[in-house]
């Protein structure tokens, strides 16, 4: 598929500098792009590539000042990164809309409800009374259990497992290997040292416009629902335990684990490899640095924390600065002790 600079500018509301008839058919990094590629510049660190790139079209910020001539056609927008992402989404949608129909072999239970313009890949399994919304895409080897619901324009990539009774909203993307609705980690200790499994009778609810990365696990609730609310973006390799509630428009990076019944607020940002204990609350707008261990509730909105155990970001940075000075402080203490011993000897000898 080819797009002209004029078409692209209309899609993202940009202004053209250069030829409006230049055509591109692919996306590329600004330093690697060729004459038929579309690139962007948002980070000033890469500005030097703007003057050497071979890209046919480059999207830049309105505020970008040119220090020398540019060979590419430029499209100026308010936010180059966001505009480039919009174009990539548009291109992806055009590609995916070509997929419709049901491939064989696949299994669709006679009671399942399948919407319009749905794509179901080979070896997919659609269970009893499951519902698939319009324009959704279920790729090969996906599993959708009994009474599960998938909304409109939702994509389940290869190998995604949606257990029974779970609900996935509209415009959701779930990447390969992710499991929704596996049993929560519920076991009751017995007097003889064994453990009895606590039945997990709830479900998982994923609201609209959520994206979940590959090989993540979201456990079903013991009772009620484990919830991922609208607009939230989850990375690969996450563990979200039973009865967790993740608020709206939050982002969680890879290898984070959230223990049971924890409540994550709206617009929270959680870095990679964070561990969060169970039965606590994280306030709206909180920012948790990578590899932090959160052992108690964060009650103040927009708080930034780091460390293990995690505490307020500024205090933690000051503490780390002090830690680095400890060897020097130890040396100075030893010197002072030696000086003090010398003074004591002088005093005693008088």
**Could you tell me which residues come within 8 angstroms of residue 58 by beta carbon, excluding any fewer than 6 positions away?**
30, 33, 38, 39, 40, 41, 50, 70, 72, 73, 74, 75
Parallel/antiparallel/unpaired status of strands 73-77 and 15-17: antiparallel
CA atoms within 13 A on the CB side of 86: 15
User: Across-strand partners of 26?
Assistant: 37
Q: What is the β-pairing status of strands 57-61 and 119-120?
A: unpaired
Instruction: Spell out a b/e string for 113-150, using b for 16 or more CB atoms within 10 Å of the CB, else e.
Output: ebeeebbbbebbbbbeebbbbebbbbbebbbbbebbbb
Rounded distance, CA 93 to CA 79, Å? 21
Active site residue 141: no
Catalytic residue among 109, 141, 242, 249: 242
Provide the annotated active-site residues.
Answer: 242
């Amino acid at each position: 598929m080819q797009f002209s600079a004029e078409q692209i500018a209309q899609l993202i509301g940009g202004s053209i500098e250069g030829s409006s008839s230049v055509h591109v058919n692919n996306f590329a990094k600004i330093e690697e792009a060729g004459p038929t590629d579309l690139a962007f510049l948002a980070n000033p660190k890469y500005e030097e590539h703007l003057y050497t790139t071979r890209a046919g079209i480059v999207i830049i910020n309105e505020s970008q000042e040119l220090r020398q001539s540019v060979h590419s056609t430029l499209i100026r927008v308010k936010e180059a990164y966001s505009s480039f992402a919009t174009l990539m989404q548009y291109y992806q949608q055009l590609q995916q809309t070509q997929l419709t129909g049901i491939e064989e072999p696949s299994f669709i239970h006679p009671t399942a409800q399948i919407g319009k313009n749905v794509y179901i890949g080979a070896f997919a399994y659609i269970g009893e009374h499951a519902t698939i919304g319009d324009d959704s895409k279920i790729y090969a080897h996906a599993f959708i259990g009994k009474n599960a619901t998938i909304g409109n324009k939702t994509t389940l990539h290869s190998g995604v497992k949606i257990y029974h009774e779970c609900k996935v909203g509209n415009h959701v993307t779930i990447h390969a290997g992710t499991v929704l609705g596996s049993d929560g980690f519920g076991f009751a200790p017995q007097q003889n040292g064994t453990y009895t499994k606590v039945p997990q009778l709830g479900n998982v609810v994923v609201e609209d416009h959520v994206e979940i990365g590959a090989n993540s696990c979201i456990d079903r609730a013991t009772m009620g629902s484990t919830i991922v609310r609208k607009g939230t973006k989850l990375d690969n390799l996450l563990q979200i335990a039973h009865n967790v509630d993740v608020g709206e428009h939050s982002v969680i990076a890879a290898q984070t684990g959230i223990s049971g019944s924890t409540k994550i607020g709206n617009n929270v940002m959680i870095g990679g490899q964070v561990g969060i204990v169970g039965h606590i609350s994280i306030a709206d707008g909180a920012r948790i640095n990578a590899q932090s261990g959160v052992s108690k509730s964060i009650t103040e909105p927009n708080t930034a924390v780091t460390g293990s155990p995690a505490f307020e970001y500024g205090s933690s940075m000051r503490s780390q600065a002090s830690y680095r000075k400890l060897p020097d402080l130890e040396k100075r203490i030893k010197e002072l002790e030696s000086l003090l011993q010398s003074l004591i000897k002088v005093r005693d000898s008088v």
